[in-house]
Amino acid sequence: GQPTQKMFESLLAAGMRLCDPARPVWVEDEGQKIGQLHLPTALFDQMRRAPRIEIVVPFQERVRYTLDTYGELAKRTEELVGLLRLLTPQRGKPKVEEW
């Protein structure tokens, strides 16, 4: 399960203290919500204002990476279906059913 919001923010702050302020921190461009948790608004706003780099990878390379990384999960159909259903609030039932 996930930690409480307060614990998440404490762990996040502890991790950020380990970062070198003289070096960039790379983050994935995602939403503010992580499961049931939320990034602190000030951090999320700063992430939105930061410079961005788009990494373009050919489709076949993305497929190969996904299969290498998650291929074992594809063999556990029931678990995979359950995980995909968790995306219904973000993507909608028709899209999840299509997957």
Q: What is the pLDDT of residues 22-81, one digit of tens each?
A: 999 999 888 999 989 999 999 999 999 999 999 999 999 999 999 999 888 878 889 889
Domain-located, residue 73: yes
Note the pTM of the prediction, 2 decimals: 0.60
Q: Same domain for 65 and 40? A: no
Would residue 54 count as lying in a domain?
no
Asked if residue 44 and residue 14 are part of one domain, the reply reads yes
- What is the reported pLDDT for 65? 94
What does the alpha-carbon distance between residue 96 and residue 87 come to, in Å, rounded to a whole number?
Answer: 7
**Count of domains forming the chain:** 2
E strands, the chain, are 33-34, 37-38
63/93 same-domain check? yes
Residue 91 has what pLDDT? Answer: 86
Give the residue numbers spanning the domain of 43. Answer: 5-49
In this structure, are 65 and 91 located in the same domain?
yes
Same domain, 93 and 63: yes
90 vs 56 pLDDT, higher one: 56
Residue 64 contacts residue 52 (beta carbons within 8 Å): no
User: With bands split at pLDDT 50, 70 and 90, how would you rate the model's confidence at 20?
Assistant: very high
- State residue 47's pLDDT score: 93
Q: Is 14 contained in some domain?
A: yes
